[in-house]
Protein backbone atom coordinates (compact mmCIF):
# COMPACT_ATOMS: atom_id res chain seq x y z
CA UNK A 1 0.00 0.00 0.00
CA UNK A 2 1.50 3.39 -0.93
CA UNK A 3 2.51 5.76 1.82
CA UNK A 4 0.45 8.83 2.64
CA UNK A 5 1.76 11.91 0.84
CA UNK A 6 2.13 15.21 2.69
CA UNK A 7 2.29 18.17 0.33
CA UNK A 8 4.10 21.05 2.01
CA UNK A 9 5.48 24.48 1.25
CA UNK A 10 8.96 25.88 1.85
CA UNK A 11 10.22 24.63 5.20
CA UNK A 12 11.85 27.93 6.04
CA UNK A 13 8.66 29.94 5.60
CA UNK A 14 5.61 27.65 5.80
CA UNK A 15 4.45 27.57 9.41
CA UNK A 16 1.22 25.84 8.36
CA UNK A 17 3.20 23.00 6.79
CA UNK A 18 5.43 22.66 9.83
CA UNK A 19 2.60 21.79 12.20
CA UNK A 20 1.25 18.55 10.68
CA UNK A 21 4.74 17.49 9.61
CA UNK A 22 5.82 17.64 13.27
CA UNK A 23 2.71 15.73 14.34
CA UNK A 24 3.26 12.96 11.79
CA UNK A 25 6.95 12.66 12.68
CA UNK A 26 6.23 12.64 16.42
CA UNK A 27 3.66 9.87 15.94
CA UNK A 28 6.12 7.79 13.91
CA UNK A 29 3.80 7.66 10.89
CA UNK A 30 5.67 6.91 7.64
CA UNK A 31 4.82 9.33 4.86
CA UNK A 32 6.16 10.69 1.60
CA UNK A 33 6.99 14.38 1.61
CA UNK A 34 6.18 16.41 -1.50
CA UNK A 35 7.53 19.98 -1.30
CA UNK A 36 6.09 22.72 -3.47
CA UNK A 37 7.54 26.22 -3.73
CA UNK A 38 5.00 28.76 -2.55
CA UNK A 39 6.79 31.67 -4.20
CA UNK A 40 7.28 30.60 -7.82
CA UNK A 41 4.62 31.04 -10.51
CA UNK A 42 4.43 27.31 -11.21
CA UNK A 43 3.96 26.55 -7.53
CA UNK A 44 0.38 27.80 -7.40
CA UNK A 45 -0.67 25.63 -10.32
CA UNK A 46 1.01 22.61 -8.78
CA UNK A 47 -0.79 23.16 -5.47
CA UNK A 48 -4.16 23.58 -7.20
CA UNK A 49 -3.73 20.14 -8.76
CA UNK A 50 -3.80 18.53 -5.30
CA UNK A 51 -5.58 21.02 -3.04
CA UNK A 52 -9.13 22.35 -3.43
CA UNK A 53 -8.18 25.44 -1.44
CA UNK A 54 -5.03 26.18 -3.44
CA UNK A 55 -3.08 26.05 -0.18
CA UNK A 56 -0.76 23.66 1.63
CA UNK A 57 -0.44 21.44 3.57
CA UNK A 58 -2.48 18.58 2.17
CA UNK A 59 -2.35 14.94 3.25
CA UNK A 60 -3.21 12.49 0.47
CA UNK A 61 -4.08 8.87 1.30
CA UNK A 62 -5.15 7.18 -1.89
CA UNK A 63 -8.48 8.76 -2.81
CA UNK A 64 -8.79 10.49 0.56
CA UNK A 65 -7.54 14.03 1.05
CA UNK A 66 -7.18 16.00 4.27
CA UNK A 67 -6.36 19.69 4.12
CA UNK A 68 -5.84 22.36 6.79
CA UNK A 69 -3.07 21.89 9.35
CA UNK A 70 -5.21 21.06 12.35
CA UNK A 71 -7.34 18.58 10.41
CA UNK A 72 -4.18 16.75 9.31
CA UNK A 73 -2.98 16.67 12.91
CA UNK A 74 -6.32 15.15 13.90
CA UNK A 75 -5.88 12.56 11.16
CA UNK A 76 -2.43 11.73 12.53
CA UNK A 77 -3.99 11.14 15.95
CA UNK A 78 -6.49 8.74 14.32
CA UNK A 79 -3.80 6.83 12.44
CA UNK A 80 -1.56 6.41 15.49
CA UNK A 81 -3.68 6.62 18.67
CA UNK A 82 -0.94 5.05 20.77
CA UNK A 83 1.34 8.01 20.02
CA UNK A 84 -0.67 10.19 22.40
CA UNK A 85 -0.83 13.26 20.21
CA UNK A 86 -3.85 14.30 22.29
CA UNK A 87 -3.72 13.84 26.08
CA UNK A 88 -5.50 10.77 27.44
CA UNK A 89 -7.23 12.66 30.24
CA UNK A 90 -10.56 14.10 28.98
CA UNK A 91 -10.15 17.48 30.68
CA UNK A 92 -6.60 17.85 29.39
CA UNK A 93 -7.68 16.74 25.92
CA UNK A 94 -10.46 19.32 25.84
CA UNK A 95 -8.00 22.03 26.83
CA UNK A 96 -5.47 20.83 24.23
CA UNK A 97 -8.07 20.99 21.48
CA UNK A 98 -9.25 24.42 22.60
CA UNK A 99 -5.81 26.05 22.63
CA UNK A 100 -4.89 24.36 19.35
CA UNK A 101 -7.98 25.85 17.71
CA UNK A 102 -7.22 29.23 19.29
CA UNK A 103 -3.75 29.12 17.75
CA UNK A 104 -5.10 28.00 14.39
CA UNK A 105 -7.60 30.84 14.16
CA UNK A 106 -6.03 33.64 16.16
CA UNK A 107 -2.98 35.77 16.96
CA UNK A 108 -3.13 37.46 13.57
CA UNK A 109 -1.28 40.60 14.68
CA UNK A 110 1.66 38.60 16.02
CA UNK A 111 1.85 36.32 12.99
CA UNK A 112 1.60 39.24 10.56
CA UNK A 113 4.30 41.31 12.24
CA UNK A 114 6.67 38.37 12.69
CA UNK A 115 6.70 36.24 9.53
CA UNK A 116 7.93 32.68 9.80
CA UNK A 117 11.57 32.59 8.74
CA UNK A 118 13.75 30.06 10.54
CA UNK A 119 16.97 31.55 9.15
CA UNK A 120 16.21 35.12 10.20
CA UNK A 121 17.96 36.79 13.09
CA UNK A 122 16.52 40.27 13.16
CA UNK A 123 14.81 42.66 15.52
CA UNK A 124 11.28 44.01 15.47
CA UNK A 125 9.26 46.04 17.93
CA UNK A 126 5.85 44.74 18.83
CA UNK A 127 2.73 46.74 18.11
CA UNK A 128 0.14 46.95 20.88
CA UNK A 129 -1.97 44.25 19.23
CA UNK A 130 1.00 41.96 18.73
CA UNK A 131 2.08 42.48 22.34
CA UNK A 132 -1.42 41.50 23.48
CA UNK A 133 -1.19 38.36 21.34
CA UNK A 134 2.18 37.49 22.85
CA UNK A 135 0.87 37.98 26.37
CA UNK A 136 -1.96 35.55 25.66
CA UNK A 137 0.39 33.00 24.07
CA UNK A 138 2.79 32.98 27.01
CA UNK A 139 -0.12 32.80 29.44
CA UNK A 140 -1.35 29.71 27.61
CA UNK A 141 2.09 28.13 27.78
CA UNK A 142 2.64 28.83 31.47
CA UNK A 143 -0.86 27.98 32.70
CA UNK A 144 -1.06 24.81 30.62
CA UNK A 145 2.36 23.61 31.72
CA UNK A 146 1.49 24.28 35.35
CA UNK A 147 -1.85 22.50 35.17
CA UNK A 148 -1.17 19.62 32.78
CA UNK A 149 2.48 19.43 31.85
CA UNK A 150 4.38 18.57 34.99
CA UNK A 151 5.31 15.12 33.73
CA UNK A 152 7.52 16.42 30.92
CA UNK A 153 8.90 19.38 29.01
CA UNK A 154 5.89 20.18 26.85
CA UNK A 155 2.41 21.62 27.29
CA UNK A 156 0.90 18.28 28.31
CA UNK A 157 4.10 16.52 29.30
CA UNK A 158 4.96 14.82 26.02
CA UNK A 159 5.11 16.54 22.62
CA UNK A 160 1.68 16.54 20.99
CA UNK A 161 -0.58 18.40 18.61
CA UNK A 162 -0.84 21.48 20.81
CA UNK A 163 2.96 21.81 20.79
CA UNK A 164 3.04 21.37 17.02
CA UNK A 165 0.48 24.16 16.67
CA UNK A 166 2.53 26.57 18.78
CA UNK A 167 5.97 25.59 17.43
CA UNK A 168 5.98 28.25 14.67
CA UNK A 169 5.34 30.97 17.27
CA UNK A 170 8.43 29.81 19.15
CA UNK A 171 10.49 30.18 15.97
CA UNK A 172 9.04 33.64 15.25
CA UNK A 173 10.04 34.93 18.68
CA UNK A 174 13.57 33.63 18.21
CA UNK A 175 13.91 34.88 14.63
CA UNK A 176 12.83 38.42 15.42
CA UNK A 177 14.53 38.84 18.79
CA UNK A 178 11.32 39.21 20.81
CA UNK A 179 11.77 39.08 24.61
CA UNK A 180 9.07 37.24 26.49
CA UNK A 181 8.15 35.96 29.94
CA UNK A 182 11.16 34.03 31.33
CA UNK A 183 8.80 31.48 32.85
CA UNK A 184 7.84 30.44 29.32
CA UNK A 185 11.41 30.24 28.02
CA UNK A 186 12.08 26.66 29.17
CA UNK A 187 9.09 25.49 27.17
CA UNK A 188 10.22 27.37 24.06
CA UNK A 189 13.70 25.90 24.35
CA UNK A 190 12.25 22.39 24.69
CA UNK A 191 10.31 22.84 21.44
CA UNK A 192 13.42 24.06 19.60
CA UNK A 193 15.41 21.11 20.95
CA UNK A 194 12.85 18.42 20.09
CA UNK A 195 14.15 15.92 17.49
CA UNK A 196 11.31 16.41 14.97
CA UNK A 197 11.75 20.18 15.04
CA UNK A 198 15.54 19.90 14.67
CA UNK A 199 15.02 17.70 11.62
CA UNK A 200 12.61 20.22 10.08
CA UNK A 201 14.92 23.14 10.85
CA UNK A 202 17.98 21.46 9.33
CA UNK A 203 16.11 21.02 6.06
CA UNK A 204 14.80 24.60 6.23
CA UNK A 205 18.27 26.03 6.66
CA UNK A 206 19.47 24.07 3.62
CA UNK A 207 16.89 25.64 1.31
CA UNK A 208 18.28 28.07 -1.23
CA UNK A 209 15.16 30.07 -2.03
CA UNK A 210 14.92 33.53 -0.47
CA UNK A 211 11.78 35.68 -0.24
CA UNK A 212 12.67 39.32 0.32
CA UNK A 213 9.41 40.21 2.05
CA UNK A 214 10.17 37.80 4.88
CA UNK A 215 13.85 38.60 5.33
CA UNK A 216 15.31 41.04 7.91
Q: What is the pLDDT of residues 115-154, one digit of tens each?
A: 999 999 999 999 999 999 999 999 999 999 999 998 899 9
**pLDDT cut 70: percent of the chain above it:** 100
Mean pLDDT of the chain: 96
* Structural domains in the chain, sorted by start: 5-82 (3.40.30.10), 87-200 (1.20.1050.10)
Nearest-angstrom CA–CA distance, 125 and 34: 36
- Taking the model in full, what pTM does it have? 0.96
pLDDT at 50 over 90: no
pLDDT at 21 over 90: yes
Query: Is the CB of residue 3 less than 8 Å from the CB of residue 56?
Result: no
Nearest-angstrom CA–CA distance, 45 and 88: 41
Q: What pLDDT does residue 32 have? A: 98
Sorting pLDDT into bands at 50, 70 and 90, what band is 49? confident
Backbone angles phi, psi at 6, to 5 degrees: -105, 115
Query: Is the CB of residue 3 less than 8 Å from the CB of residue 31?
Result: yes
Q: What pLDDT does residue 20 have? A: 98
Q: Within a 10 A sphere around the Cβ of 73, how many other Cβ atoms? A: 29
pLDDT at 42 over 90: no
Query: Is the CB of residue 7 less than 8 Å from the CB of residue 57?
Result: yes
Amino acid sequence: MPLPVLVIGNKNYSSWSMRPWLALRTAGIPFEERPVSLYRPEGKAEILRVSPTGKVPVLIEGEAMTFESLAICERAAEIAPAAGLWPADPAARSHARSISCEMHAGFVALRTLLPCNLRARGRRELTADAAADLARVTTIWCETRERYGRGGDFLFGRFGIADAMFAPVVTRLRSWGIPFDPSARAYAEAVLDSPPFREWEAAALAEAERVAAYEP
